Amino acid sequence: MKIARTLLAAAKQLSQAHIENPQLEAEILLAHLLGKEQIWLHMNPDFFIEDPVNKKYMALVARRAMHEPNAYILQQREFWSLPFRVTRDTLIPRPETEQIVEITLAIAEQERWHSPRILDLGTGCGILALTLASEIPEAFLVATDRSFSALIVAHQNARRHGVESRVSLVQADWTEPFKLCEIGISQSEKGISGTERGFHLVVSNPPYVAKKDKRLLAKEICKYEPKRSLYSGKGGLEDIEKLIKTVPHVLRKGAWFICEIGYDQGENVFQMIEDTGMYKCVEIRKDLSGNDRVLIGKKV
């Protein structure tokens, strides 16, 4: 079957399944299978696809028609213009999370640290830690996740981007293993006071979806993405509250905490962090849609 007819049949199937942008989705899947750019499909509409290849393609289309995200089908998603492997053990990277990278890079430039130590809590496939390692060559990073399967994916991505020597992966529940800020401290720092020990930056994209908001999620999200990485108690704030209270204990004095939050959580999160008395320069940044998106605080 020729490319034009193949795409027509696939787009029709996806449209009937109520998949948004069915033509685009059909092209993405076929281009991936053929190892070509999408523009090549338009330039070669009469290219003949052999039956075995066509069967493989329609199997991919059938998965997408069941609302399985194409990132899981292709096992890849781009973040910060870098390709990352993703599986159903990890959340799919989203453009909004790039705001954390932007803010972190701005703070790192402002502070002018020498060899900053950065902790990424709940790294998933590693997008924050590995992107920051790529952008800040002098940085040393530690990335944690509860899921060992997710850490395997993060390790694969670290090797892909050539930063595995500067990113340590740790299976952990948030800050639990990092008592007394010992992690990432060189021998030369052992005699330094506690205020000068610990991480310069902690970043996190924790679970923050409230149970009441589950109905707002697309089928692609609530059916396929890992629930432990999405939901955080009735109000969506359980993990964020835990981080706000524990992160200061792994930060050095004057260090920063940067955390993604839910679209309507800014006011509650701001009050939480103020109530601790452990932060200053607290700020809630909004995303391009005008929704609450990132919490920023500096350790007192």
Question: Could you tell me if 53 and 151 lie in one domain?
Answer: no
Q: Quick one: angle between helices 51-65 and 22-34, nearest 10? A: 140
For the chain, the residue count is 300
Question: Could you tell me if 112 and 252 lie in one domain?
Answer: yes
Question: What is the Cβ-side half-sphere exposure of residue 205, based on CA atoms within 13 angstroms?
Answer: 22
The token pair that represents 214 in the structure block: 């589950």
- Give pLDDT tens digits for 183-240: 444 444 444 445 567 999 999 999 999 988 999 999 999 999 999 999 999 899 999 9
Asked if 103 contacts 297 with a C-beta cutoff of 8 angstroms, the reply is no
With 0-12 CB in 10 A as exposed, 13-18 as middle and 19+ as buried, what is 289? Answer: exposed
Asked if residue 110 belongs to a domain, the reply is yes
pLDDT band at 178 (very low <50, low <70, confident <90, very high): confident
Average pLDDT, the chain: 94
pLDDT in the model for residue 192: 42
- Give pLDDT tens digits for 75-108: 999 999 999 999 999 999 999 999 999 999 999 9
pLDDT in the model for residue 202: 98
> CA 77 from chain center: how many Å?
10
* 171 strand-pairing partners: 145
- Give pLDDT tens digits for 271-292: 999 999 999 999 999 999 999 9
pLDDT cut 90: percent of the chain above it: 90
Edge to edge, what strands does the sheet with 292-299 contain? 167-171, 140-145, 117-121, 199-204, 251-260, 292-299, 279-286
Question: Could you tell me if 54 and 152 lie in one domain?
Answer: no
User: Token pair 């299978």 is at which residue?
Assistant: 33
Mean pLDDT of 105-113: 96
pLDDT in the model for residue 196: 66
CATH number for 168: 3.40.50.150
Q: Please give the sequence-ordered ranges of beta strands (E in DSSP) within 101-234, or none if there are none.
A: 117-121, 140-145, 167-171, 199-204
pLDDT band at 28 (very low <50, low <70, confident <90, very high): very high
| Planar angle of CA 111, 267, 298, nearest 5 degrees | 20
With 0-12 CB in 10 A as exposed, 13-18 as middle and 19+ as buried, what is 18? Answer: exposed
- Give pLDDT tens digits for 138-165: 999 999 999 999 999 999 999 999 999 9
Question: Could you tell me if 96 and 44 lie in one domain?
Answer: no
30 SS3 class = helix
pLDDT in the model for residue 54: 97
- With a cut of 90, say whether residue 172 has pLDDT above it: yes
Report the distance separating Cα 240 and Cα 258, nearest Å. Answer: 11
Question: Could you tell me if 290 and 164 lie in one domain?
Answer: yes
pLDDT in the model for residue 197: 78
Question: Could you tell me if 45 and 110 lie in one domain?
Answer: no
**Continuous segment of H or E residues that includes residue 155:** helix 148-160
pLDDT band at 246 (very low <50, low <70, confident <90, very high): very high
* 117 strand-pairing partners: 140
User: Token pair 């995303």 is at which residue?
Assistant: 287
Question: Could you tell me if 264 and 162 lie in one domain?
Answer: yes
Q: Please give the sequence-ordered ranges of beta strands (E in DSSP) within 17-176, or none if there are none.
A: 77-79, 82-84, 117-121, 140-145, 167-171
pLDDT in the model for residue 116: 97
pLDDT in the model for residue 176: 85
Mean pLDDT of 22-29: 98
Question: Could you tell me if 61 and 94 lie in one domain?
Answer: no
Report the distance separating Cα 124 and Cα 129, nearest Å. Answer: 10
Report the distance separating Cα 264 and Cα 286, nearest Å. Answer: 10
Question: Could you tell me if 203 and 254 lie in one domain?
Answer: yes
What is the extent of the structural domain holding 40?
Answer: 3-66
Count of domains in the chain? Answer: 2
Asked if 91 contacts 122 with a C-beta cutoff of 8 angstroms, the reply is no
